[in-house]
Amino acid sequence: MRIALAEAEHAPLTGDVPVGAVVLAPDGSVLSRARNEREATGDPTAHAEVLAIRRAAAALGGWRLTGCTLAVTLEPCTMCAGAIVLSRLARVVYGAADPKAGAAGSLWDLVRDRRLNHRPEVIAEVLPAPSATLLSRFFRPRDF
């Protein structure tokens, strides 16, 4: 989670929401890391989770991330939850809960929906305070 937090700290430099993610291989080594890049790239799908999943798949040479772990500073949204399920990640670990858009237990629980063919383990609220602080600092000066 600390690697994901370090990524999140760089996102505001491009005007992006401070969310960071890292994908760990089954042996715990880092496969990929990413931060939100929607503003930087103009890509609405450039969430930290999606970018980290894409990069991990490229590093492994295939789309199945079986046995891998995604750590992300904010609870994944529905788009990212879908990518988590489709990539066959073994687990997702997140920092701050997102009661407005979270899809790993807060608002929805897409990643553990029994109707789907894959359900990763979810470990919620790991180092939630630093994750929440980054988000609060980012949004405080804005009029959202």
Annotated binding site: 47, 77, 80
The CA distance from 27 to 109, in Å, is 27
Max intra-chain CA distance, the chain = 43
Binding-site members for Zn(2+) are 47, 77, 80
Q: Is 7 a catalytic residue?
A: no
Strands 69-74 and 91-96 turn out to be: parallel
Rounded Cα gap, residues 83 and 63, in angstroms: 10
Tokens in use for 46?
A: 């450039």
Q: Which of 49, 75, 121, 125 is catalytic?
A: 49
Annotated catalytic residues are: 49
